[in-house]
Structure 1
Amino acid sequence: MPPHVPPEDFFAFSSYHMALAVVGAIVILAHWLPRLVSDREPASAPLMILFGAGAALLVPNLPTLPDPREAPRIWELVSELTVIIALFGTGMRIDALRPWRRWTPTFRMLGIAMPLTILAVAMLGIGLEGLTVAGAILLGAVLAPTDPVLAADVQAGPPQEGVEHPVRFTLTTEAGLNDGLAFPFVYLGLLAAAGGLTAGDLLLDWLLLDVVYRIAVGAAMGWAGARVLGYVLFSVPKGAILAETGSGVVALAGVLLCYGSTELVEGYGFIAVAVMGLTLRRVEQDHHFHRRLHDFSESIEHALTAVLLVGLGTVLPLLLTDLNWIHVLFALLLILVVRPLSGWIGLLGSPMPYRDRAAVSVYGVRGIGSIYYLCYAGSHMEFTNESQLWTLVGLVILLSTILHGFSVGWAMERIKDD
């Protein structure tokens, strides 16, 4: 029997239950309202952030996630798990790796556009925002990678759907790999904050360890993890393989095992799980389990993303307390000038048609990965400009999801028949 509730407390509202109801209502409305005005896939991400901010301002005593500037750990853990699952799913989406020349735009975006973006953001951070060198490098690393979680509308579809459009292939593979490749620059910012950069720091601690070793180990662990998991799922025991009867949770457990073991040997786990998705997709390539696994992981990814975006919205009024016109100028320059220009430079000489190059250059949404990197840095070291960094990152995520989210359907329609 439930305990007796006094009449005066019968309609006393629990703030926790109020929070659950508000989150549920926001997620439903964010996905449903856009369908009233368009038959395209709804741009739910910016609406979840905006509705979360509105709820924090309008609903009295609404519990929210802690301020990430004061308690970054919970934000770091949830965003890390979300990115892990998203990166694995991103790798699973790629049906065919060959011909190898289709990777050329991806490598150009990773090797040219991404470093240019980091450099430009760092220079803007110093020139416009007055950041320290360490804070500027960190800001560049945090905002450089595109987001595999929020960029589903511009990425390749689920496994076994057929040949991917070059734009979708490039944006999918870029988002799958650049989260891990941003990590060396985060470490560079931490090195700078710890006491300046010397030639020895750059050569030994950063170039050999943070760049060469960690990237190589991440890629190798992802490949090996996929081979072992593929063996478990598709080969042994004969006649009763897990892929026929098992739940996707077994494969997801393998992803977590791969990520955790890679981090234990000081490799980049984000690179490992992306490579794992790409490699596992080649094992028994036509098996129906790949689609089931992708759909299972995508459902978890969407649920975690919704919680994070609504949570970000609820703390956004705190993060934007010190907002000024310089912050707005910085965010718009990044989204409208730095990313498109860096992408266009990176793709110079590419055989991609003009319209395709423009789409790849423009659609680099920022989001969950940026939250993770900034929380990771904040939990390892105190930065002089940490509050300023959070204001900039929160604003960039908001504007990026709005501008990209509400225009991507139109843009993809323009390139799909090329």
Structure 2
Amino acid sequence: MLFAVWALIIGTLLIMMTLSGSMLKRLPVSTAMFYLAVGYGLGPGGLNLLTPDPIAHAGVLERLTECALLISLFASGLKLGVPLTDKHWWLPLRLAFVSMAITVGLLSLVGIWALHLAPGVAILLAAILAPTDPVLASEVQVEEAGDRDRVRFGLTGEGGLNDGTAYAFISLGLSLLGLHEAGEFGWRWIVLDVLWGFGGGLLIGGCLGMLVGKLVLFLRTEYQEAVGLDEFLSLGLIALAYGCAMLCYCSGFLAVFAAGLALQRTESRTSSKPASLVPVAAVGLPDKETREAIATSPDHAGAYLMQAVRNFNSQLENIVELTVVLLIGAILTYVGLSKITFWFPALLFLVIRPLSVWLGLRGMKIAADQQWLMSWFGIRGVGSLYYLLYAINHGLALQPAQLLIALTLATVVASIVFHGISMSPLMKLYGSSKARRGK
């Protein structure tokens, strides 16, 4: 009977979203806000059908959010078609490394001075809440692979990079609590968690994405083999990049992001036609011979491959968003509200995020409205939830764990609500302003 009830709920929810999806895009709300309300209704505060206790079920929830994050990071890499030599890359790099480090530092100070936390717990809290989210930020991310808009490109690249860079600070916080080995004078943390974690992850993911992409296109264009099952290619590359990186003790998140980025770059190097010139319906044409002819054409093979992979990842991202935000809504019942859960997210979004972006981008020529939008849309979501669960599973004590759960969930929910309400109207205003400037 319980399975039948779940089938009824999920079926109704999916059909409702299909029917109302275009309407929601015209309203100042996001799909995540709707999922959040439904998740709360399904949780202990409502029907009690979904009971994801963040302490008791931390292991399962960690794996679920980890998979969601990997899918979204790979999709972020696929969206960024700007060559790595382009100066536009300085923007997401500075946001993901400089601004994020400043955010961690400022949040740590707040944790120590205002919340009276031990340094290890304060750094852990800061590292959990520092990364922006690639899952819930689809409306402010790039729309086409060649999009060079500074706001969209900067936020997309930042979301793809900083979930990987956050691990260095997570491991530092755990080390100060005696839950992670940092080595004498911190040598292991610097060499393994920071230098090799960043560099090795990007190198492994980039090489695998390039090699797999070239191999598939070579087999298709030269021998008319390896045609179809592009969904398997996408999932297989995510798993391969992540597994190889983790076995080599470097960042699996950065590896997956780099794999998506490298696979996307393979298209531009091997195909004379960009994906936008391949008919959208081509990927789903009922005529098998026509599909195979396009997929194996030297002029269209790369574009066809990327269009198929992007379409699949886009649908997968929607399912991931639904699943994770439903869980966040259900987990809310386990969070006790207090004054801290109200002023802490406001401090992060209105003071610390804008200040860290301003400091991180000093010296760059960026329009005021672009910097303001990047400051505001520091969306927090699945990445923060994953690292929270990661810390709990690595032995974080119950008392600090409960505080971190409350602050993390309060921040994520505030982000879903306030960023969700403002996302559509602000991006429309930005589009109009950009059109008037002619840029």
Question: Does TM, scored on the shorter chain, surpass 0.5?
Answer: yes
CA drift of 1:27 comes to: 5.5
Could you say which residue in structure 1 is the equivalent of 2:425?
A: 410
1:394 and 2:409 aligned: yes
8 Å Cα contact 2:72/2:135 also seen in 1: yes
Aligned to 1:234: 217
User: Where does residue 291 of structure 2 map in the other structure?
Assistant: none
The answer (yes or no) to whether the contact 1:112–1:346 under 8 Å persists in 2 is yes
**1:155 and 2:146 are equivalent in the alignment:** no
Assess if the C-alpha contact under 8 Å between 1:225 and 1:258 holds in 2: yes
Map of 2:172 onto structure 1: 188
Mapping for residues 104-143 of structure 1, pairs under 5 Å:
104-143=90-129
Q: Letter of the aligned partner of 2:34 in structure 1?
A: L
The aligned counterpart of 2:362 is: 348
Look up the match of 1:3.
none
| Contact 1:106–1:170 (8 Å) recurs in 2 | yes
- In the TM superposition, what is the alpha-carbon distance from 1:196 to its structure 2 partner? 9.9
Partner of 2:241: 258
| Counterpart secondary structure, 1:208 | helix
The one-letter amino acid paired with 1:175 is G
Identify if the C-alpha distance between structure 1 residues 260 and 409 changes in structure 2 by more than 3 Å, giving closer, same or farther: same
2:283 is aligned to: none
For the Cα contact (< 8 Å) 2:345–2:411, is it kept in 1?
yes
1:261-311 per-position Cα deviation (integer Å, ceiling 9, x unaligned):
110111101000111111111113232210210110221222122111112
SS at match of 1:407: helix
In the aligned structure 2, how far is the partner of 1:197 from the partner of 1:129?
26
CA distance in 1 between counterparts of 2:56 and 2:214 reads 44
Whether contact under 8 Å (2:28, 2:421) holds in the other structure is no
SS in 1 for 2:219: coil
CA RMSD of aligned residues (A): 2.3
Check 1:57–1:349 CA distance in 2 against 1; reply closer, same or farther (3 A cut): same
Map 1:235-314 onto structure 2 (within 5 A): 235-236=218-219, 238-242=222-226, 244-285=227-268, 286=274, 287-314=303-330
Q: Which amino acid aligns with 2:9?
A: V
CA apart distance, 1:138: 0.8
How far 1:248 moved relative to its partner? 2.1
Within 1, Cα distance between the matches of 2:44 and 2:53? 15
Work out the CA distance in 2 between the residues paired with 1:196 and 1:188. 8
- Counterpart check, 1:39 vs 2:39: no
| d(CA) in 2 for partners of 1:253, 1:199 | 35
C-alpha deviation, 1:49, in angstroms: 1.2
Q: CA deviation at 1:173?
A: 0.5
Q: CA deviation at 1:227?
A: 2.1
In structure 2, C-alpha distance between the alignment counterparts of 1:317 and 1:28, rounded to whole Å: 27
User: Which amino acid letter does the alignment assign opposite residue 117 of structure 1?
Assistant: T
Instruction: Quote the Cα distance in structure 1 between the aligned partners of 2:130 and 2:243.
Output: 24
- C-alpha distance in 2 between matches for 1:260 and 1:67: 28
Secondary structure, aligned partner of 2:43: helix
Aligned to 1:317: 333
Structure 1 stretch displaced more, 265-274 or 29-38: 29-38
For the residues of structure 1 that align with 2:359 and 2:118, how far apart are their CA atoms?
A: 27
Deviation at 1:354, TM superposition (A): 0.7
Using the TM superposition, name which of 187-196 and 147-156 deviates more: 187-196
State the distance in 2 between where 1:41 and 1:32 align. 17
Aligned length: 398
Q: How far did residue 53 of structure 1 move?
A: 1.1
- Structure-2 separation of matches of 1:195 and 1:133: 14
Distance 1:342 1:146, change over 3 A: same
The verdict on how the C-alpha distance between 1:130 and 1:24 changes in structure 2, with shifts beyond 3 A counting, is farther
Preserved contact between residue 88 and residue 273 of structure 1 (Cα < 8 Å) = yes
Contact 2:43 2:51 in 1 (8 A): no
Change (3 A) 1:81 1:158: farther
**More displaced stretch, 97-106 vs 222-231:** 97-106
What's the CA shift for 1:414?
A: 2.2
What is the CA-CA distance between 1:370 and the residue it aligns to?
Answer: 0.8
Q: In 2 relative to 1, CA 164–397 (structure 1 residues): closer, same or farther, beyond 3 Å?
A: same
1:71 to 34, 42, 57: 57
Post-superposition shift, 1:37?
Answer: 7.3
1:210 aligns with 2:198: no
CA contact (8 A) 1:23 1:307 kept: no
Name the counterpart of 1:22. 9
Q: Which runs of 5+ in 2 are unaligned?
A: 269-273, 275-302
Compared CA separation, residues 24 and 226, structure 1 to 2 (3 A): same
Distance (Å, rounded) in 2 between the aligned partners of 1:267 and 1:199: 16
Compared with structure 1, are the counterparts of its residues 99 and 357 closer, same or farther at alpha carbon in structure 2 (3 Å cutoff)? farther
Q: Which residue type is aligned with residue 142 of structure 1?
A: I
Bigger Cα displacement from structure 2, 393-402 vs 103-112? 103-112
CA shift for structure 1 position 23: 4.2
List per-residue Cα deviations over 1:66-104 (Å, max 9, x = no partner): 311222111111111111111111011012226621122
The amino acid that maps onto 1:72 is: A
Contact 1:339 1:364 in 2 (8 A): yes
